[in-house]
Amino acid sequence: MRFVLLGPPGAGKGTQAQALVTRFGIPQISSGDLLRAVAREDSDLGREFAGYMDRGQLVPDEFVLKLISERFRKKDARSGFILDGFPRNVSQAEALGARLDRAGLKLDKVVAVMLPDEEILERITGRRTCRNCDAMYHVVFEPPKKPGVCDKCGGELYQRDDDGEDTVRERIKVYDAMTRPLLDYYKRLGLLAEVDGKGRPDEVEKRILTVLENIAVPSQDSAGGGSAGS
Ligand code: ADP
């Protein structure tokens, strides 16, 4: 199964992707996580990426596409993936479509997790991320068992540099201008399903599962089998 999670910053794409990884046995491919890994490096490219991200702007397509392409080549992505944060504009969506076409593959679904602007800020400013494994928490809605410590790996939780209010407002603007048009793009392709992102993570997950219900899910046995079929 190959699908995309779309939606504004803070809509819960990352949280949902993490839950779905366990359920479907396919990896989450998060462009934000891939870019943050490079941004943490002490290199010119790392500093360049961090600059774009801290301003709330998109990292140029050529870099993002290269990272995504490399990630697709890993063995665990053969049987499917959940894309989170990619594609983020129409040209990235076209590049993704072309790449899948060449491999004789297709997307099964694009799930847009919708959330009104006023809730986005509340969610993002309370968000905490694990420095080690990128797992996400919210100080009120999804607190870790021990404050400041990741439940999954014991890593330190921090507030992302781009989760401050001014940057979040810029990210919302960039979403409206660049990413929102993808809703129409995927609607025309007959792939779009919109789900309400309000409520608890498990409630949102249920809505997503309903949308994905009709898609054939490989059994756990065949999930790691590396079939190139769609
Ligand atoms: P969110 O969905 O909450 O905005 P992400 O982790 O997906 O968080 O993205 C954080 C930042 O990483 C974005 O503001 C942008 O600078 C960069 N980024 C992530 N994905 C892409 C992408 N596909 N293309 C360009 N820039 C990206």
pLDDT digits (tens, 9 = 90+) for 189-211: 999 999 999 998 899 999 999 99
Write down the pLDDT at residue 96: 97
Q: Which helix (H) or strand (E) segment is 127 a member of?
A: strand 127-130
Span 7-21, average pLDDT: 91
pLDDT at 222: 42
Q: What is the mean pLDDT of residues 102-116?
A: 94
User: pTM for the full model?
Assistant: 0.85
Q: Which of 13, 36, 71, 207 is catalytic?
A: 13
For residue 221, pLDDT beyond 50: no
2 is annotated as an active-site residue:
no
| Mean pLDDT within 24-44 | 94
* Lining residues, ligand 1, CB within 6 Å: 9-10, 13, 31-32, 35, 52-53, 56-59, 64, 85-86, 88, 92, 162, 171
In the sheet where 109-114 sits, what is the strand order? 28-30, 81-84, 2-6, 109-114, 192-196
**Does the annotation mark 127 as catalytic?**
yes
**In this predicted structure, what is the pLDDT of residue 216?**
56
140 Cα to the center of ligand 1, angstroms = 23
Contacts 24+ apart (CB under 8 A), 103-106: 103/228, 104/228, 104/230, 105/2, 105/228, 105/230, 106/2, 106/230
Residue 43's CB is within 10 A of a number of other CB atoms, namely 11
Residue 110: its pLDDT value, please? 97
Which of 213 and 184 is assigned the larger pLDDT?
Answer: 184
Per annotation, catalytic residue among 123, 127, 128, 207: 127
Q: Which residue bears the tokens 């990128």?
A: 134
**What is the spatial distance between Cα 126 and Cα 110, in angstroms, rounded to a whole number?**
27
